[in-house]
C-alpha cells in the first residue's frame, strides 16, 4: 500500500503519468468528476449502444466485451465512438489477452475486432510471462494506447493472488511506458499505478457463478481509482442512466473521503 498515492488527488497524479491513455483517463475523470466505468456486457449492438448512450453522461470509461456482440460489424465501433465524443468518455476493451507475444499482436491489431484501432485501454493476463506485454506494446504504444494487467480477480477461488500478483507487479515495472495499472481489488505497489476494480455493487453479495461484490466505498477505500460496475447499473431495464449517476456519486464521494475531503474545485 502506498499511503502517498492513496491520498493524492487525480489532479496531482496527472503529473506522475506520461502514457497518453492514462493521462486522457485522468483528465476525463477530473472533467466529469466521475471515477465510474460501466461494463456493458450486452449481446446486441442495439442494447449495447442504448445503455452506453444512457450512462454516458456519468462515466469516464466504458468497458466492452466486443466478442459477445452477435451483430458486430465496424458500424458498432463507429457508433460507439460517436457516443464517446458526445458524452466524453474513453473505451476499454476487456479482452483479457493471455497468449504468447506473436499471437496477441495479431489478436490486438487484426481479425474482426481490430481492438487497437479503437480501444484506448485493454487488459492482459500475466500467465504467459512478459512477452505478452512486449507483443501488445509493439502494437499499442505507437497508437498511444495503454495496458492494464490482471493482477487480481474478483471471482471466488481466483489463482491471481500472492506470488502471482507480485509477479504481475514486477512485469509492470519492466514496461512502465505501456502498462498504466492493474485490474485489482486494492492498491498495489508504491508507484502510481491506476487501479481499476471490478466486482462492485451497492449492497455487495455476489452471483451464482462466483462473482463477489464489494461496495464502491469499500473498494475506493482499499485503493480503487476507477470502479467498474456492470449489472449493478444496466441490470434494471430502463434505469441504467439513473443507476449510473447513483454509482458516480458514490464513487466520487468515496474518492473525496479518501483524499481527505479535497477542495471546493473538486466538489
3-state SS, residue 123: strand
Rank residues 217 and 259 by Cβ distance to ligand S5P and give the closer one. 217
* x/- letters, 92..131, toward ligand S5P (CB under 6 A): --x-------------------------------------
**Residue 183 found at the interface with ligand S5P (CB under 6 A):** yes
**Residue 251 found at the interface with ligand S5P (CB under 6 A):** no
**Residue 230 found at the interface with ligand S5P (CB under 6 A):** yes
**Residue 198 found at the interface with ligand S5P (CB under 6 A):** yes
| Least CB distance to ligand S5P at residue 262 (A) | 27
Among 39, 107, 122, 214, binds ligand S5P (CB under 6 A): 39
| Least CB distance to ligand S5P at residue 175 (A) | 19
- The answer to whether residue 53 is catalytic is no
Residue 98 in grid coordinates: 493471455
In the complex, residue closest to ligand S5P by CB: 230
3-state SS, residue 12: helix
- The answer to whether residue 110 is catalytic is no
- The answer to whether residue 94 is catalytic is yes
Find out whether 238 is annotated in a ligand binding site.
Answer: no
| Least CB distance to ligand S5P at residue 168 (A) | 12
| Least CB distance to ligand S5P at residue 64 (A) | 9
* Residues 184, 207 contacting (CB under 8 angstroms): no
Rg (the chain; Cα; Å): 17
- Cα-Cα-Cα-Cα dihedral of 106, 40, 48, 124, to 10°? 0
How many residues sit in the footprint of ligand S5P (CB under 6 A)? 16
Task: Report the candidate in 111, 69, 70, 115 with the shortest Cα–Cα distance to residue 95.
Answer: 115
In the chain, the DSSP E strands lie at: 36-39, 61-64, 90-97, 121-124, 146-150, 179-183, 194-197, 205-206, 212-213, 226-229
Give the active site residue among 32, 94, 192, 225: 94
* x/- letters, 132..171, toward ligand S5P (CB under 6 A): ---------------------xxx----------------
CB atoms within 10 A of CB 168: 25
- 128: buried, middle or exposed (CB in 10 Å: 19+, 13-18, 0-12)? middle
* Residues 136, 105 contacting (CB under 8 angstroms): yes
Farthest-apart Cα atoms in the chain, separation = 49
Q: Which residues pair with 200 in a beta bridge?
A: 214
Sole residue written with cell 496477441: 104
Among 87, 114, 175, 231, binds ligand S5P (CB under 6 A): 231
Rank residues 169 and 183 by Cβ distance to ligand S5P and give the closer one. 183
- Tell me the catalytic residues: 94, 96, 99
Contacts with ligand S5P by CB under 6 A lie at 39, 41, 65, 94, 153-155, 183, 198-199, 211, 228-232
Amino acid at each position: 500500500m502506498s499511503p502517498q498515492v492513496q491520498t493524492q488527488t487525480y489532479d496531482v497524479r496527472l503529473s506522475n503519468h506520461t502514457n497518453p491513455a492514462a493521462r486522457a483517463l485522468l483528465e476525463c475523470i477530473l472533467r466529469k468528476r466521475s471515477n465510474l466505468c460501466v461494463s456493458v456486457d450486452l449481446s446486441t449492438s442495439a442494447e449495447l449502444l442504448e445503455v452506453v448512450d444512457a450512462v454516458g453522461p456519468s462515466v469516464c470509461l466504458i468497458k466492452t466485451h466486443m466478442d459477445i456482440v452477435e451483430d458486430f460489424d465496424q458500424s458498432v465501433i463507429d457508433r460507439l465512438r460517436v457516443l464517446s465524443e458526445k458524452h466524453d468518455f474513453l473505451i476499454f476493451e476487456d479482452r483479457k489477452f493471455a497468449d504468447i507475444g506473436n499471437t496477441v499482436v495479431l489478436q490486438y491489431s487484426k481479425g474482426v475486432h481490430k481492438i487497437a484501432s479503437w480501444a484506448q485501454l485493454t487488459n492482459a493476463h500475466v500467465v504467459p510471462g512478459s512477452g505478452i506485454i512486449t507483443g501488445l506494446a509493439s502494437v499499442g504504444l505507437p497508437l498511444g494506447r495503454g495496458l492494464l494487467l490482471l493482477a487480481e480477480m474478483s471471482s471466488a477461488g481466483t489463482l491471481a493472488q500472492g506470488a502471482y500478483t507480485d509477479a504481475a507487479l514486477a512485469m509492470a515495472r519492466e514496461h512502465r511506458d505501456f502498462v498504466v495499472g492493474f485490474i485489482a481489488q486494492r492498491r498495489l505497489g508504491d508507484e502510481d499505478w491506476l487501479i481499476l476494480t471490478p466486482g462492485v455493487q451497492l449492497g455487495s453479495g455476489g452471483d451464482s457463478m462466483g462473482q463477489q461484490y464489494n461496495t464502491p466505498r469499500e473498494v475506493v477505500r482499499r485503493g480503487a481509482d476507477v470502479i467498474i460496475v456492470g449489472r449493478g447499473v444496466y441490470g434494471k431495464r430502463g434505469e441504467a442512466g439513473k443507476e449510473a449517476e447513483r454509482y458516480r456519486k458514490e464513487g466520487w464521494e468515496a474518492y473525496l473521503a479518501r483524499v481527505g475531503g479535497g477542495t471546493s474545485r473538486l466538489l
